[in-house]
């Protein structure tokens, strides 16, 4: 009983209290033992750390690594043995967990990893992943030492960066492998197709530099219209031919993202870069008949509150939803801080006991509410929601399914943004 913690110095014991005298005075009760705020450990942090995520808060994301394994294996089968597979695990593997996904992909046939930042690459190296890693961007010159130290390949498209990178590698007597990025029409980063030979000649004198790959990225691989795609593909093939004609070996030639991998086999070249479809999501309708993918991510919650809300009573901020009567309102502890974007308010469902129930009222930061109709109609069976019932926000239960695509469409965005959103705060469980 010495140091106060947060100003708390312990409960007063009866010993310290003045005892009333007189005949009605009760004998002092047995003293309450003072709280031990220091001294022996009352809690076992290791045991507490074992408490499963789904028992800490009733909302969690499940990532099925067997689905990732399946998607990598069917892709390897489709592209054949001569073509490498790069698992794109940037942005924490699109919200699926970079280390777990990278390990699973590498164990299932992937040979290469792709990330967007050097810190994403370092996270993989610190998890003892040895596979080649390409950062799909040219970093600032100041980041060069990290690439050399962690043996991570940069994307290169400015000669100044290439030289600096080569010099740093030389100082440590190691090689400086890189991939050259060609801009064929996306107009984001990269050298122009007619400049690739010049570029390589300008930097090639540096003895540490190794050109190990040349690549481009498509702007419209997932679009209905195909003309722009073919223009980009043609420019890229021409750039590769120019390199070869100049006696330069382009190394690993790659261009295809998920959509291009399955829609345009002719641009698979030496490697495909698989993002979305590795997570089991189709980039467009055209790929559906080509490959059978298994979605890896599902979103789960348990009901924390059930109440009847009388007719015309409102629910949530702004009370914009009004009860039509004869409904139960169920509350889930998942909100926009968890990735359930506020823009989805009133546009999504949950699956409870195999049936879809409408989300109603504004989605809050930490909660969202759902309406269960108490009238039984059609072939529906009455559902009786109870606190603790497990529900699905994304996933499949029997005949009912809610997809990431549905959420993306409701938000007028791409599926990538939806899965990345679910990496925010909500717990993630790998199965
Ligand atoms: C993110 C990314 C990919 C993966 O794209 P998906 O459409 O998710 O398959 C491929 N290449 C580059 C350069 C990327 O930035």
Q: pLDDT tens digit string along 126-151? A: 999 999 999 999 999 999 999 999 99
Portion of the chain with pLDDT greater than 70, in percent: 90
Predicted local distance difference test score (pLDDT) of residue 382: 82
**Residues 162-218: pLDDT tens digits?**
999 999 999 999 999 999 999 999 999 999 999 999 999 999 889 899 999 999 999
Predicted local distance difference test score (pLDDT) of residue 22: 44
- What is the rounded distance in angstroms from the CA atom of residue 181 to the CA atom of residue 177? 13
Place of tokens 């409904």: 327
- Higher per-residue pLDDT: 16 or 105: 105
Place of tokens 């690549």: 215
What pLDDT band is residue 41 in, cutting at 50, 70 and 90? low
CA of 323 to the centre of ligand 1 (A): 44
**Residues 65-103: pLDDT tens digits?**
999 999 999 999 999 999 999 999 999 999 999 999 999
Which string of DSSP letters, residue by residue, matches 67-92? HHHHHHHHHHHHH-TTSEEEEE-HHH
Determine whether the shortest distance from the Cβ of 293 to ligand 1 is under 6 A: no
What pLDDT band is residue 376 in, cutting at 50, 70 and 90? confident
Determine whether the shortest distance from the Cβ of 261 to ligand 1 is under 6 A: no
199, 207 Cβ separation under 8 angstroms:
no
- What is the rounded distance in angstroms from the CA atom of residue 389 to the CA atom of residue 381? 16
Specify which residues 360 forms β-bridges with. 369
| Atom 14 of ligand 1, residue of closest alpha carbon | 136
Tokens in use for 348? 């999504």
Burial class, 188, CB count within 10 angstroms (exposed 0-12 / middle 13-18 / buried 19+): exposed
Give the chain's count of helices (H) and strands (E): 12, 20
* Averaged confidence pLDDT in the chain: 92
**Residues 399-421: pLDDT tens digits?**
899 999 999 999 999 999 999 99
Nearest to 280 by CA among 402, 160, 178, 403: 403
Alpha helices in 172-307 (DSSP H): 196-203, 227-245, 258-263
CA of 115 to the centre of ligand 1 (A): 9
CB atoms within 10 A of CB 298: 23
Q: At residue 356, does pLDDT exceed 70?
A: yes
Q: At residue 324, does pLDDT exceed 90?
A: yes
CA of 231 to the centre of ligand 1 (A): 19
Atom of ligand 1 nearest to the CA of 416: 8
Predicted local distance difference test score (pLDDT) of residue 179: 98
Which of 90, 94, 112, 215 is the catalytic position? 90
The verdict on whether 94 is a catalytic residue reads no
pTM of this structure? 0.88
> Dihedral of the CA atoms 415, 420, 423, 428 (nearest 10)?
50
Nearest to 107 by CA among 83, 152, 73, 151: 73
Atom of ligand 1 nearest to the CA of 283: 7
């Amino acid at each position: 009983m010495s140091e106060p913690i947060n100003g708390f110095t312990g409960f007063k014991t009866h010993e310290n209290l003045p005892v009333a005298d007189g005949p009605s005075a009760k004998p002092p009760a047995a003293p309450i033992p003072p709280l031990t705020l220091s001294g022996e450990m009352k809690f076992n942090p290791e045991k507490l750390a074992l408490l499963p995520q789904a028992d800490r808060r009733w909302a969690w994301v499940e990532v099925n690594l067997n689905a990732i394994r399946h998607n990598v294996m069917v892709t390897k089968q489709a592209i054949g043995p001569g073509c490498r597979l790069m698992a794109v695990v940037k942005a924490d593997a699109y919200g699926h967990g970079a280390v777990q996904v990278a390990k699973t992909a590498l164990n299932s046939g992937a040979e290469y990893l792709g990330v967007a930042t050097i810190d994403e690459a370092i996270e993989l190296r610190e998890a003892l992943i040895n596979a080649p890693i390409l950062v799909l961007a040219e970093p600032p010159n100041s980041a060069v030492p990290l690439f050399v130290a962690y043996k991570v390949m940069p994307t290169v498209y400015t000669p100044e960066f290439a030289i600096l990178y080569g010099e740093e590698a030389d100082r440590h007597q190691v090689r400086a492998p890189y991939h050259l990025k060609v801009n064929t029409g996306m107009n984001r980063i990269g050298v122009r197709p007619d400049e690739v030979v010049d570029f390589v000649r300008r930097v090639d004198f540096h003895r540490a530099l190794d050109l190990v790959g040349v690549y481009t990225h498509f702007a419209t691989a997932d679009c209905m219209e195909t003309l722009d795609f073919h223009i980009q593909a043609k420019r890229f093939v021409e750039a590769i031919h120019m390199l070869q004609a100049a006696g330069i070996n382009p190394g690993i030639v790659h261009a295809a993202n998920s959509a291009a991998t399955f829609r345009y086999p002719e641009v698979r070249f030496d490697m495909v870069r698989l993002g979305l479809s590795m997570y089991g999501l189709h980039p467009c309708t055209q790929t559906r008949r080509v490959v059978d993918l298994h979605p890896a991510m599902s979103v789960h919650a348990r009901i924390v509150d059930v109440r009847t809300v009388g007719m015309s009573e409102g629910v949530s901020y702004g009370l914009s939803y009004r009860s039509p009567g004869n409904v139960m309102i169920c509350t889930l502890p998942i909100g926009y801080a968890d990735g359930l974007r506020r823009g989805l308010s009133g546009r999504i469902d949950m699956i409870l006991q195999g049936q879809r129930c409408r989300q109603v009222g504004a989605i809050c930061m930490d909660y969202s509410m759902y309406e269960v109709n108490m009238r039984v109609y059609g072939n529906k069976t009455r559902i009786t929601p109870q606190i603790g019932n497990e529900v699905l926000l994304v996933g499949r239960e029997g005949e009912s399914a809610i997809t990431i695509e549905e959420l993306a469409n409701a938000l007028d965005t791409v599926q990538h943004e939806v899965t990345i959103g679910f990496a925010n705060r909500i717990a993630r469980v790998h199965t």
